[in-house]
Every structure is written in structure tokens, then in C-alpha cells.
Copies of this chain bind each other. A is one copy, B any other.
């Protein structure tokens, strides 16, 4: 077989392997040719070797697997190719976030204790999701009837939220203040509307006071450094 013929066979084999979407054996590849033009087995194997060489330095390679030959995307490109198949993540439910918050602040905590505080049952799905995400793990079982698992947060949880330790979580007191501040803002707005006095100084005063309070309650420690991460800050600077 001359070089031109070889190239022709090589192109057909290449096209067939790319179109098949499954591995093809040497004989299956030979079957693509009519009898009078069918390459011998050795020729086909030679062509496959040429094809393998032709893939050098490209995005895909020829691989021999149990059921024949196939083209395969090179492992090197998996990080990019993988993004093709990423599903758009959905958002977590409020129930899940509440559960996570309780585990973070009250660990080690059992499911029953979470349910007591939330006033509703916690679905197994939520716990499983949190465990799969590796934010939460079982640290033991409480020595009470039923021996319920006790949950705690993980290193990965801290890493994800950019915390070096649980200390950096805003203290519960502050979260309550936050709520207070929110209510105060609302009151202010109501007052403004009632008195119909769009005085610019009022909100500014309030906001300054709010800021003071927030920083005071944090006691010099800074659980959340960037302003956009701090809900109390954004609340007070609303006006």
C-alpha cells in the first residue's frame, strides 16, 4: 500500500473513531471498507500507530481499551473540559442555613437539639448535604437514650467562610443587635415619613451612632473585616 492510500485509510479510520462514540476493534474498522479495498490487519494496525503519532501534542489521544480503540480527551485538559459538565448550583434552603448556623454556634449539637430550637424537624437530606459538603461532621454520640449523633463544623467550613477559628464568627449578641438596629432604622424611616422632614442630618446621626455601637460590641476584635461582609455595617450605612 502506498503512502497516499495509507493516508486515505488513516483519514477514514480517524473519522470513524470520532463519529462512532464508542471503541472500535481492528476488525470493525476493516469492515468499513469494501472487500476489494479492505486493508490487511497489519496495515490497519500500522495505520492506528500512525494515527496515534498524529495526535501527539494535540487535545486528544488514541487509546486502546478492552473493546477496541477510541479517541480520548487528554487528561491534561480535564480541568477545562470538566467545566462543560458543571451544573449550575442551586441555592440552599433557609432550613439548611439555619441548621448550619445552629451547628456552628452550638456545637457539638444533636439533631434533636437543633429541632428543639428551630421548632421543626430537620430533614436527613439537610444533614447529609452538609456532610457531603464537608462543612459538618459527626464528632461523637451523646450518651442519652438513642445515642444521637453530635454534629460539629469542620476545618473546611472555616476555610470556606474565611475564618481562622470559630472565634471569628460574630458573637450572638451582635446578631441580636443587628436586628435591633434594623428595627431602629425602620422606625427612623417611619418617623421621617410622618414628620415629612427630609432632613439629611438625622439619618447621618443615626448611622454614626449605629456604627459606634457595632464596633463597641465587637470589643476590638474584628470578626468580619471587609465592610460588605458585615451586615450591621451595611445596615447602618443604608441612609
Contacts and interface: CB of A to CB of B under 8 A. Distances in A.
B31 A77 contact: no
A186 to B, nearest CB: 39
A18 B16 contact: no
Interface in A52-86: 54, 57-60, 71, 73-74, 76-77, 80-81, 83-84
The number of times this chain is found in the oligomer is 2
Contact of A59 (B12, B21, B59): B12
A13 B58 CA distance: 10
Contact of A32 (B10, B12, B31, B81): B81
A11 interface: yes
B15 A81 contact: yes
B71 A32 contact: no
A88 to B, nearest CB: 12
Contacts of A213: none
A14 interface: yes
A57 B13 CA distance: 13
Contact of A58 (B11, B33, B59, B76): B11
Interface range on chain A (Cβ under 8 Å from partner): 20 to 34
A83 B31 contact: yes
User: Which of A14, A59, A81 gathers most chain B CB within 10 Å?
Assistant: A59
A1 interface: no
A166 to B, nearest CB: 27
B84 A18 contact: no
A20 interface: yes
Chain A to chain B: the 7 pairs with minimum beta-carbon distance, closest first: A14-B59, A15-B59, A11-B59, A15-B77, A15-B73, A19-B81, A12-B80
Given A12-B80, A13-B59, 17 more contacts: A7-B57, A10-B59, A11-B57, A11-B58, A11-B74, A14-B58, A14-B60, A15-B60, A15-B74, A15-B77, A16-B59, A16-B77, A16-B84, A18-B59, A18-B60, A18-B73, A19-B73
